[in-house]
Structure 1
Amino acid sequence: MIEASELRAGTAVKLNGEIYSVVSAEYHAGGGQFGGMVFVKVKGLQTKHVKELRFHPDDKLEDVELEHKEMEYLYADGAEFYFMNPDTFEQISLPKEAIGPYERFLQPNMRVPVELFEGTPIRLVFPEAVELKVVSAPPGLREHETATYKSVVLENGLEVLAPQFIKEGDIVKVEVATGKYLERVRREGRKG
Protein backbone atom coordinates (compact mmCIF):
# COMPACT_ATOMS: atom_id res chain seq x y z
CA MET A 1 0.00 0.00 0.00
CA ILE A 2 1.11 3.54 -0.68
CA GLU A 3 -0.14 6.81 0.80
CA ALA A 4 -1.57 9.38 -1.61
CA SER A 5 1.07 11.90 -0.48
CA GLU A 6 3.78 9.53 -1.84
CA LEU A 7 2.34 9.33 -5.38
CA ARG A 8 4.67 10.45 -8.16
CA ALA A 9 4.44 10.48 -11.96
CA GLY A 10 4.98 6.96 -13.26
CA THR A 11 3.70 5.20 -10.13
CA ALA A 12 1.25 2.41 -10.95
CA VAL A 13 -1.79 1.91 -8.70
CA LYS A 14 -4.85 -0.33 -8.71
CA LEU A 15 -8.19 1.48 -8.35
CA ASN A 16 -11.51 -0.40 -8.53
CA GLY A 17 -9.79 -3.41 -10.07
CA GLU A 18 -8.14 -1.45 -12.89
CA ILE A 19 -4.45 -0.55 -13.18
CA TYR A 20 -3.62 3.14 -13.61
CA SER A 21 -0.38 4.96 -14.21
CA VAL A 22 0.01 8.29 -12.38
CA VAL A 23 0.53 11.08 -14.91
CA SER A 24 0.91 13.84 -12.31
CA ALA A 25 0.39 14.33 -8.58
CA GLU A 26 0.28 17.66 -6.76
CA TYR A 27 -0.08 18.28 -3.05
CA HIS A 28 -2.09 21.35 -2.01
CA ALA A 29 -1.87 22.41 1.63
CA GLY A 30 -5.16 23.14 3.29
CA GLY A 31 -6.01 25.98 5.59
CA GLY A 32 -8.19 26.31 8.67
CA GLN A 33 -10.62 23.40 8.97
CA PHE A 34 -9.73 22.04 5.55
CA GLY A 35 -6.86 19.59 5.41
CA GLY A 36 -4.42 19.26 2.53
CA MET A 37 -5.38 17.39 -0.62
CA VAL A 38 -3.48 15.46 -3.25
CA PHE A 39 -4.70 16.09 -6.80
CA VAL A 40 -3.80 13.18 -9.06
CA LYS A 41 -4.16 12.67 -12.81
CA VAL A 42 -4.12 8.97 -13.76
CA LYS A 43 -4.32 7.08 -17.05
CA GLY A 44 -5.88 3.63 -17.31
CA LEU A 45 -3.50 1.06 -18.75
CA GLN A 46 -6.24 -0.96 -20.43
CA THR A 47 -8.75 1.79 -21.30
CA LYS A 48 -6.25 4.66 -21.82
CA HIS A 49 -8.85 6.94 -20.17
CA VAL A 50 -7.47 9.84 -18.14
CA LYS A 51 -9.08 10.66 -14.79
CA GLU A 52 -8.48 13.44 -12.32
CA LEU A 53 -8.85 12.32 -8.72
CA ARG A 54 -8.57 13.90 -5.28
CA PHE A 55 -7.27 12.17 -2.15
CA HIS A 56 -6.47 13.04 1.44
CA PRO A 57 -2.67 12.80 1.90
CA ASP A 58 -3.00 9.80 4.24
CA ASP A 59 -5.41 7.81 2.01
CA LYS A 60 -4.01 4.35 1.25
CA LEU A 61 -3.86 3.08 -2.35
CA GLU A 62 -2.81 -0.29 -3.70
CA ASP A 63 0.47 0.17 -5.56
CA VAL A 64 1.50 -2.20 -8.34
CA GLU A 65 5.00 -3.57 -8.84
CA LEU A 66 6.40 -2.76 -12.29
CA GLU A 67 9.07 -4.69 -14.16
CA HIS A 68 12.08 -2.69 -15.37
CA LYS A 69 13.56 -3.82 -18.68
CA GLU A 70 16.29 -2.14 -20.71
CA MET A 71 15.11 -1.77 -24.30
CA GLU A 72 16.71 -0.46 -27.46
CA TYR A 73 14.94 2.39 -29.25
CA LEU A 74 14.37 1.55 -32.92
CA TYR A 75 12.15 4.14 -34.63
CA ALA A 76 8.92 6.15 -34.50
CA ASP A 77 6.10 6.20 -37.03
CA GLY A 78 4.46 9.38 -35.77
CA ALA A 79 1.95 7.91 -33.30
CA GLU A 80 3.98 5.04 -31.83
CA PHE A 81 7.58 4.62 -30.70
CA TYR A 82 9.11 1.16 -31.18
CA PHE A 83 11.57 -0.52 -28.83
CA MET A 84 13.27 -3.92 -28.95
CA ASN A 85 14.27 -6.24 -26.14
CA PRO A 86 17.99 -6.86 -26.92
CA ASP A 87 17.83 -10.36 -25.37
CA THR A 88 14.70 -11.77 -27.06
CA PHE A 89 14.47 -9.35 -30.05
CA GLU A 90 10.78 -8.91 -29.16
CA GLN A 91 9.44 -5.50 -30.18
CA ILE A 92 7.04 -3.34 -28.20
CA SER A 93 5.55 0.07 -28.87
CA LEU A 94 4.69 3.02 -26.68
CA PRO A 95 2.25 5.75 -27.72
CA LYS A 96 3.58 9.24 -28.29
CA GLU A 97 1.82 10.43 -25.09
CA ALA A 98 3.86 7.98 -22.99
CA ILE A 99 7.11 9.41 -24.37
CA GLY A 100 6.16 13.05 -23.81
CA PRO A 101 8.98 15.63 -23.82
CA TYR A 102 11.65 12.92 -23.98
CA GLU A 103 10.90 12.40 -27.68
CA ARG A 104 13.50 14.96 -28.76
CA PHE A 105 16.24 13.10 -26.87
CA LEU A 106 15.63 9.60 -28.27
CA GLN A 107 18.38 8.45 -30.62
CA PRO A 108 18.24 5.26 -32.74
CA ASN A 109 19.90 2.29 -30.98
CA MET A 110 19.81 4.16 -27.65
CA ARG A 111 19.15 1.86 -24.68
CA VAL A 112 16.59 3.14 -22.19
CA PRO A 113 14.78 1.49 -19.29
CA VAL A 114 11.10 0.80 -19.90
CA GLU A 115 8.62 -0.03 -17.13
CA LEU A 116 6.23 -2.88 -17.88
CA PHE A 117 3.19 -4.31 -16.11
CA GLU A 118 2.50 -7.95 -17.00
CA GLY A 119 4.39 -7.45 -20.27
CA THR A 120 2.55 -4.24 -21.20
CA PRO A 121 4.84 -1.19 -21.52
CA ILE A 122 3.80 1.65 -19.23
CA ARG A 123 6.40 4.37 -19.55
CA LEU A 124 9.96 5.27 -20.40
CA VAL A 125 12.36 5.83 -17.48
CA PHE A 126 14.60 8.40 -19.07
CA PRO A 127 18.03 9.39 -17.71
CA GLU A 128 18.37 12.82 -16.09
CA ALA A 129 20.98 13.89 -18.66
CA VAL A 130 22.03 12.77 -22.15
CA GLU A 131 25.18 13.27 -24.20
CA LEU A 132 24.76 14.85 -27.63
CA LYS A 133 27.14 16.02 -30.34
CA VAL A 134 27.32 19.71 -31.32
CA VAL A 135 26.64 20.04 -35.07
CA SER A 136 26.65 23.83 -35.36
CA ALA A 137 28.39 26.43 -33.21
CA PRO A 138 29.43 29.99 -34.03
CA PRO A 139 33.03 30.95 -33.21
CA GLY A 140 33.62 32.08 -29.62
CA LEU A 141 34.21 35.66 -28.55
CA ARG A 142 37.69 35.79 -26.98
CA GLU A 143 37.10 38.66 -24.57
CA HIS A 144 34.07 36.90 -23.07
CA GLU A 145 35.51 33.37 -23.15
CA THR A 146 33.66 31.98 -20.09
CA ALA A 147 31.24 34.66 -18.90
CA THR A 148 28.77 34.65 -21.79
CA TYR A 149 26.93 31.91 -23.56
CA LYS A 150 26.24 31.31 -27.24
CA SER A 151 23.56 29.32 -29.00
CA VAL A 152 24.65 25.93 -30.41
CA VAL A 153 22.68 23.28 -32.31
CA LEU A 154 22.88 19.65 -31.25
CA GLU A 155 22.55 16.48 -33.35
CA ASN A 156 18.87 16.08 -32.37
CA GLY A 157 18.06 19.61 -33.58
CA LEU A 158 17.82 21.07 -30.08
CA GLU A 159 19.29 24.54 -29.68
CA VAL A 160 20.94 25.22 -26.30
CA LEU A 161 23.01 27.96 -24.71
CA ALA A 162 26.57 26.80 -24.12
CA PRO A 163 29.88 28.45 -23.06
CA GLN A 164 32.01 30.21 -25.67
CA PHE A 165 34.63 27.41 -25.79
CA ILE A 166 32.14 24.82 -27.15
CA LYS A 167 32.74 24.09 -30.85
CA GLU A 168 31.39 21.81 -33.57
CA GLY A 169 32.11 18.15 -32.91
CA ASP A 170 32.17 18.52 -29.10
CA ILE A 171 30.02 16.17 -27.04
CA VAL A 172 27.95 17.98 -24.40
CA LYS A 173 25.76 16.77 -21.56
CA VAL A 174 22.24 18.23 -21.55
CA GLU A 175 19.68 18.05 -18.75
CA VAL A 176 16.61 16.27 -20.11
CA ALA A 177 13.96 17.99 -17.94
CA THR A 178 15.03 21.53 -18.85
CA GLY A 179 17.03 21.12 -22.07
CA LYS A 180 19.92 23.08 -20.48
CA TYR A 181 23.62 22.58 -21.14
CA LEU A 182 25.41 20.98 -18.17
CA GLU A 183 29.00 20.31 -19.26
CA ARG A 184 31.35 19.32 -22.05
CA VAL A 185 32.13 15.60 -22.07
CA ARG A 186 35.81 14.77 -22.34
CA ARG A 187 36.68 11.65 -24.32
CA GLU A 188 39.72 9.41 -23.78
CA GLY A 189 42.72 10.28 -25.95
CA ARG A 190 41.47 13.78 -26.70
CA LYS A 191 43.25 16.99 -25.79
CA GLY A 192 41.49 20.18 -24.81
Structure 2
Amino acid sequence: MKISGVDIRPGNILEYEGGIWKVAKIQHTQPGKGGAYMQVEMKNLQDGRKTNVRFRSADTIERVRLDTKDFQYLYAEGDMLVFMDKDTYEQINLPADLLGDAAAFLQDGMEVSLELWEEKPISVQLPDTVEATIVEADAVVKGQTASSSYKPAMLDNGVRVMVPPHIGSGTRIVVDVYERAYVGKAG
Protein backbone atom coordinates (compact mmCIF):
# COMPACT_ATOMS: atom_id res chain seq x y z
CA MET A 1 0.00 0.00 0.00
CA LYS A 2 1.59 3.28 -1.13
CA ILE A 3 1.37 6.29 1.18
CA SER A 4 2.42 9.92 0.79
CA GLY A 5 5.65 11.09 2.45
CA VAL A 6 3.69 13.39 4.81
CA ASP A 7 1.41 10.53 5.98
CA ILE A 8 4.28 8.60 7.61
CA ARG A 9 3.76 7.99 11.34
CA PRO A 10 5.97 6.48 14.10
CA GLY A 11 5.58 2.70 14.22
CA ASN A 12 4.90 2.40 10.47
CA ILE A 13 6.81 -0.35 8.68
CA LEU A 14 8.14 0.89 5.31
CA GLU A 15 9.86 -0.75 2.36
CA TYR A 16 12.75 1.56 1.47
CA GLU A 17 15.80 0.88 -0.74
CA GLY A 18 15.10 -2.87 -0.76
CA GLY A 19 14.90 -3.19 3.04
CA ILE A 20 12.21 -3.19 5.73
CA TRP A 21 12.38 -0.17 8.05
CA LYS A 22 10.44 0.76 11.19
CA VAL A 23 9.75 4.46 11.70
CA ALA A 24 11.09 5.66 15.09
CA LYS A 25 10.59 9.44 14.94
CA ILE A 26 9.13 11.98 12.54
CA GLN A 27 9.40 15.73 12.28
CA HIS A 28 7.25 17.76 9.92
CA THR A 29 9.12 20.81 8.63
CA GLN A 30 7.77 23.72 6.62
CA PRO A 31 10.65 25.94 5.56
CA GLY A 32 9.90 29.53 4.52
CA LYS A 33 11.18 28.73 1.05
CA GLY A 34 10.36 25.53 -0.82
CA GLY A 35 7.89 22.75 -0.06
CA ALA A 36 7.16 21.07 3.25
CA TYR A 37 8.83 17.78 4.07
CA MET A 38 8.83 15.04 6.69
CA GLN A 39 12.16 14.21 8.38
CA VAL A 40 11.93 10.50 9.26
CA GLU A 41 14.24 8.51 11.56
CA MET A 42 14.06 4.80 10.70
CA LYS A 43 15.63 1.54 11.86
CA ASN A 44 16.26 -1.38 9.53
CA LEU A 45 14.51 -4.47 10.91
CA GLN A 46 16.86 -6.88 9.14
CA ASP A 47 20.29 -5.58 10.14
CA GLY A 48 19.61 -2.91 12.79
CA ARG A 49 21.03 0.08 10.84
CA LYS A 50 19.49 3.50 11.48
CA THR A 51 18.98 6.29 8.98
CA ASN A 52 17.39 9.71 8.58
CA VAL A 53 15.45 10.33 5.37
CA ARG A 54 13.64 13.41 4.09
CA PHE A 55 10.32 12.74 2.32
CA ARG A 56 8.46 15.47 0.44
CA SER A 57 4.66 15.39 0.11
CA ALA A 58 4.98 14.38 -3.55
CA ASP A 59 7.06 11.30 -2.60
CA THR A 60 5.27 8.00 -2.14
CA ILE A 61 6.59 5.04 -0.19
CA GLU A 62 5.40 1.48 0.21
CA ARG A 63 3.89 0.73 3.62
CA VAL A 64 4.31 -2.92 4.65
CA ARG A 65 1.92 -5.02 6.70
CA LEU A 66 3.63 -7.62 8.84
CA ASP A 67 2.04 -10.91 9.79
CA THR A 68 2.00 -11.56 13.54
CA LYS A 69 2.06 -15.10 14.85
CA ASP A 70 2.11 -16.47 18.42
CA PHE A 71 5.06 -18.64 19.39
CA GLN A 72 6.25 -20.19 22.65
CA TYR A 73 9.86 -19.86 23.84
CA LEU A 74 11.37 -23.28 24.55
CA TYR A 75 15.12 -22.95 25.31
CA ALA A 76 18.45 -21.39 24.33
CA GLU A 77 20.98 -23.34 22.29
CA GLY A 78 24.26 -21.43 22.22
CA ASP A 79 23.50 -17.99 20.79
CA MET A 80 20.31 -19.28 19.16
CA LEU A 81 16.85 -19.29 20.74
CA VAL A 82 14.33 -22.05 19.98
CA PHE A 83 10.66 -21.10 19.56
CA MET A 84 7.64 -23.31 18.80
CA ASP A 85 4.69 -22.34 16.61
CA LYS A 86 1.64 -22.75 18.86
CA ASP A 87 -0.57 -23.89 15.95
CA THR A 88 1.66 -26.34 14.08
CA TYR A 89 4.16 -27.25 16.88
CA GLU A 90 6.93 -26.55 14.36
CA GLN A 91 10.17 -25.30 15.94
CA ILE A 92 12.33 -22.45 14.63
CA ASN A 93 15.74 -21.18 15.71
CA LEU A 94 16.38 -17.44 15.86
CA PRO A 95 19.54 -15.53 16.80
CA ALA A 96 19.39 -14.04 20.33
CA ASP A 97 20.43 -10.60 19.02
CA LEU A 98 17.07 -10.34 17.20
CA LEU A 99 15.57 -9.62 20.65
CA GLY A 100 18.29 -7.23 21.81
CA ASP A 101 18.35 -6.46 25.55
CA ALA A 102 14.90 -7.99 26.07
CA ALA A 103 16.38 -11.50 25.59
CA ALA A 104 17.45 -11.53 29.27
CA PHE A 105 13.76 -11.60 30.26
CA LEU A 106 12.85 -14.73 28.28
CA GLN A 107 11.47 -17.49 30.49
CA ASP A 108 10.80 -21.14 29.61
CA GLY A 109 7.31 -21.53 28.15
CA MET A 110 6.84 -17.75 27.68
CA GLU A 111 4.43 -16.75 24.93
CA VAL A 112 5.84 -14.23 22.43
CA SER A 113 4.66 -12.68 19.15
CA LEU A 114 6.85 -12.94 16.09
CA GLU A 115 6.45 -10.40 13.30
CA LEU A 116 6.96 -12.07 9.94
CA TRP A 117 7.70 -10.47 6.58
CA GLU A 118 7.38 -12.81 3.60
CA GLU A 119 7.36 -15.76 6.07
CA LYS A 120 10.70 -14.63 7.61
CA PRO A 121 10.79 -13.56 11.30
CA ILE A 122 12.13 -10.01 11.63
CA SER A 123 11.21 -9.12 15.23
CA VAL A 124 10.09 -10.73 18.48
CA GLN A 125 7.70 -9.02 20.91
CA LEU A 126 7.82 -10.15 24.54
CA PRO A 127 5.05 -9.36 27.02
CA ASP A 128 5.44 -5.77 28.31
CA THR A 129 5.96 -6.94 31.88
CA VAL A 130 7.36 -10.11 33.48
CA GLU A 131 7.73 -11.40 37.03
CA ALA A 132 11.24 -11.89 38.37
CA THR A 133 12.83 -12.65 41.75
CA ILE A 134 15.35 -10.33 43.40
CA VAL A 135 18.50 -12.26 44.34
CA GLU A 136 20.50 -9.34 45.70
CA ALA A 137 19.42 -5.90 46.93
CA ASP A 138 21.57 -3.15 48.41
CA ALA A 139 20.87 -2.05 51.97
CA VAL A 140 18.89 1.12 52.51
CA VAL A 141 21.00 4.16 53.37
CA LYS A 142 19.73 5.65 56.64
CA GLY A 143 18.53 9.22 56.41
CA GLN A 144 17.31 9.00 52.83
CA THR A 145 13.83 10.33 52.30
CA ALA A 146 11.15 7.76 51.56
CA SER A 147 9.95 9.47 48.40
CA SER A 148 11.68 8.71 45.11
CA SER A 149 14.76 7.09 46.65
CA TYR A 150 15.36 3.84 44.84
CA LYS A 151 18.16 1.34 45.39
CA PRO A 152 19.83 -1.05 42.91
CA ALA A 153 18.81 -4.72 42.93
CA MET A 154 19.92 -7.78 40.93
CA LEU A 155 17.25 -10.05 39.42
CA ASP A 156 17.49 -13.83 38.98
CA ASN A 157 18.16 -13.30 35.24
CA GLY A 158 21.22 -11.09 35.90
CA VAL A 159 19.52 -7.77 35.08
CA ARG A 160 19.97 -4.80 37.45
CA VAL A 161 16.91 -2.64 38.20
CA MET A 162 16.15 0.16 40.66
CA VAL A 163 13.59 -0.79 43.35
CA PRO A 164 11.97 1.03 46.30
CA PRO A 165 13.79 0.76 49.66
CA HIS A 166 11.26 -1.66 51.22
CA ILE A 167 11.88 -4.35 48.57
CA GLY A 168 14.37 -6.94 49.79
CA SER A 169 16.16 -10.02 48.50
CA GLY A 170 13.88 -12.96 47.61
CA THR A 171 10.91 -10.72 46.72
CA ARG A 172 9.06 -11.41 43.44
CA ILE A 173 8.47 -8.22 41.50
CA VAL A 174 6.93 -7.18 38.18
CA VAL A 175 9.43 -5.56 35.77
CA ASP A 176 8.83 -3.59 32.57
CA VAL A 177 10.81 -5.55 29.95
CA TYR A 178 11.64 -2.68 27.59
CA GLU A 179 12.20 0.08 30.18
CA ARG A 180 13.96 -2.29 32.65
CA ALA A 181 12.02 -0.61 35.43
CA TYR A 182 10.26 -1.75 38.61
CA VAL A 183 6.46 -1.81 38.20
CA GLY A 184 5.30 -3.34 41.48
CA LYS A 185 5.32 -6.41 43.72
CA ALA A 186 4.13 -9.62 42.09
CA GLY A 187 0.61 -10.54 43.15
Normalised by the length of structure 2, the TM-score is 0.75
Provide the C-alpha distance between the structure 1 equivalents of 2:132 and 2:14, rounded to a whole number of angstroms.
35
1:151 corresponds in structure 2 to: 152
Give the structure 2 partner of residue 38 of structure 1: 39
Aligned length: 181
Q: Percent identity?
A: 29
Kindly provide the CA deviation profile for residues 122-168 of structure 1, in whole angstroms up to 9, marking residues without a partner as x: 21123332221212234556876843322211111111111122123
Structure 2 CA distance for aligned equivalents of residues 40 and 139 of structure 1: 42
Change in CA separation of 1:51 and 1:119 when aligned onto 2, cut-off 3 Å:
same
The one-letter amino acid of 2:158's match is G
SS in 2 for 1:169: coil
CA RMSD of aligned residues (A): 3.2
Residues 146, 165 of structure 1: 8 Å contact kept: no
Cα 1:139/1:52, change in 2 over 3 Å? closer
Q: What CA distance in whole angstroms lies between the structure 1 residues aligned with 2:63 and 2:37?
A: 21
Given that residues 129 and 174 in structure 1 are in contact (C-alpha distance below 8 angstroms), is that contact kept between their aligned partners in structure 2?
Answer: yes
Q: Any conservation in 1 of the 2:14–2:22 contact (CA below 8 Å)?
A: no
Per the alignment, residue 26 of structure 1 pairs with 25
Contiguous gaps of at least 5 residues in structure 1: 187-192
The 1:27/1:89 distance shift into structure 2, 3 A limit, reads same
The CA distance in 2 between the partners of 1:153 and 1:79, in whole Å, is 23
Gapped regions of structure 2 (runs ≥ 5): none
- AA aligned to 1:112 is V
Hey, what's the Cα distance between the residues in 2 that align with 1:119 and 1:152?
40
Evaluate the alpha carbon distance shift between residue 81 and residue 8 of structure 1 in structure 2; reply closer, same or farther with a 3 A threshold. farther
